[in-house]
Amino acid sequence: MSRVGQAGFSSAAPGSTVWRNTRPVTVGLIGAGVMGADHARLLSGSVSGARLGGVCDVDETRARRVVEATGARVLPDPFALIADDDIDAVLVASSDPTHEAYVLAAIAVGKPVLCEKPLAPTVDGCQRIIDAETAYGSRLVTVGFMRRYDPGYVELKQALDDGVIGAPLVLHCVHRNPANSPGQPSAAVITNSAVHELDVSRWLLGEEIVEATVHTPRPAAAAGGTADPQLLVLRTASGALVDIEVFVNAGYGYEVRCELVGESGTVELGMPSPTVQRRAGVIARPLAMDWRPRFAEAYRRELQDWVDSVRLAAPAAFSPAATAWDGFAATYLAQACVRALETGAPVTIDLPSRPKLYEP
């Protein structure tokens, strides 16, 4: 029985638009923290063709707060939510270690699931999801690497694909947060933060990373002992270099930069400040203090694309959505970078070959 049948949608071929006036996709949300609440707000108020059906959180007060704002039901048990007949698709925004179980449960009942990154914190966990989805026989899992939907990254990739800069040689990335839990494990700087660059590098360049070195300066005083900032240097299969400055206690604000250097030119993210102020001796562009304003539009487009793919029972032809395979690769790469950080030496990365299900 196909997913389409399971989810109650018309069996129209992908590309058909008859679905557009059928009933909305009913989403069940697991995790009502900062990210979950944002997703709930978007699904209820800014995404076409979706409704929030149920919300589940270990902290029922948080779940209720989200429900009040949207009119959905609170469901105490995440597995019951996943199995609920009213729920067409599942959005997992709970704590990292819980992702695997919920994603596997969604696959088990044949429901589309959008899982916040990471797909799972361990390579083994990701592998189990790959195995389950492969056994199911078609793709149900999307991983929430939302930068692939950011208008800047999209335009950057388009410029590359249009040949504006020639073949890529070097990708420079900067990822700064104003502050983070002082004293967190140094590995978390990679697995929580740099992992976004690991994913977006693979996506932009369209190839795999084969080697990683991590250089670390003296840590920032505000980092409380964590190795922060870090400078990751990666090599791709075709020989391009990627360098990533990740600095999660940078103090001054949230900022993401990305410049792709090609054989004949470069393209970089613009600075998306809606206004420029002149006051007290400076021309100033305001910066946000966290990632949500910076990537608000990316989150909206990601959810819309996901909802569209659920209604179509197929991803859009040119969807940039990250698959379970991309989620596996991101965790695999992040773990390799952690080893490079811990050993101080280059680490060769030998990603397993991509299962057939994830071929384009």
What is d(CA 299, CA 282) in angstroms, rounded to the nearest whole number? 32
Burial letters for 100-118: b for 16+ Cβ neighbours within 10 Å, e otherwise?
bbbbbbbbebbbbbbbbbb
In the window 226-255, what residues touch a copy of itself (CB under 8 A)?
229, 231, 233, 235, 238-241, 243, 245, 247, 250-253, 255
Minimum CB separation of residue 193 from a copy of itself in Å reads: 15
The answer to the question of residue 44 lying near a copy of itself (CB under 8 A) is: yes
Instruction: Tell me the C-alpha to C-alpha distance, in Å, between residue 93 and each of 57, 119, 245, 295, 307.
Output: 9, 11, 27, 16, 16
In the window 311-340, what residues touch a copy of itself (CB under 8 A)?
none
Count of residues interacting with a copy of itself (CB under 8 A): 89
In the window 151-170, what residues touch a copy of itself (CB under 8 A)?
151-152, 154-156, 159, 164-167, 169-170
What is d(CA 221, CA 243) in angstroms, rounded to the nearest whole number? 23
What is d(CA 315, CA 179) in angstroms, rounded to the nearest whole number? 37
Minimum CB separation of residue 304 from a copy of itself in Å reads: 6
Minimum CB separation of residue 295 from a copy of itself in Å reads: 13
Please report where in the chains the tokens 């360098």 appear, as a residue.
243
In the window 126-155, what residues touch a copy of itself (CB under 8 A)?
150-152, 154-155
CB nearer to a copy of itself: pick between 126 and 298: 298
The answer to the question of residue 24 lying near a copy of itself (CB under 8 A) is: yes
Minimum CB separation of residue 148 from a copy of itself in Å reads: 14
Q: For residue 192, give the DSSP letter.
A: I
**Which positions ≥6 away from 234 have C-beta within 8 Å?**
198, 201, 209, 211, 212, 213, 241, 242, 243, 244, 337
Cis peptide before 118 (omega within 30 of 0): yes
Q: Across the strands, what pairs with 174?
A: 245, 257
Given candidates 71, 317, 318, 359, which one binds a copy of itself under the rule CB under 8 A?
71
Cis peptide before 352 (omega within 30 of 0): no
CB nearer to a copy of itself: pick between 48 and 95: 48
In the window 261-300, what residues touch a copy of itself (CB under 8 A)?
261, 263-287, 289, 297
The tokens for 356 are 């057939």
Minimum CB separation of residue 290 from a copy of itself in Å reads: 12
Contacting range for a copy of itself; rule: CB under 8 A; set: 49-57, 74-82, 89-97, 124-132 = 49-57
- Decide the pairing of beta strands 113-115 and 141-143: parallel
CB nearer to a copy of itself: pick between 247 and 306: 247
CB nearer to a copy of itself: pick between 285 and 292: 285
Q: Across the strands, what pairs with 55?
A: 29, 74
The tokens for 214 are 């991590």
Minimum CB separation of residue 32 from a copy of itself in Å reads: 16
The answer to the question of residue 70 lying near a copy of itself (CB under 8 A) is: yes
CB nearer to a copy of itself: pick between 45 and 352: 45
The answer to the question of residue 34 lying near a copy of itself (CB under 8 A) is: no
Minimum CB separation of residue 289 from a copy of itself in Å reads: 7
CB nearer to a copy of itself: pick between 14 and 45: 45
Q: What SS3 class is residue 116?
A: coil
Query: How many other CB atoms are there within 10 angstroms of residue 348's CB atom?
Result: 10
Minimum CB separation of residue 70 from a copy of itself in Å reads: 6
Minimum CB separation of residue 111 from a copy of itself in Å reads: 20
What is d(CA 122, CA 265) in angstroms, rounded to the nearest whole number? 38
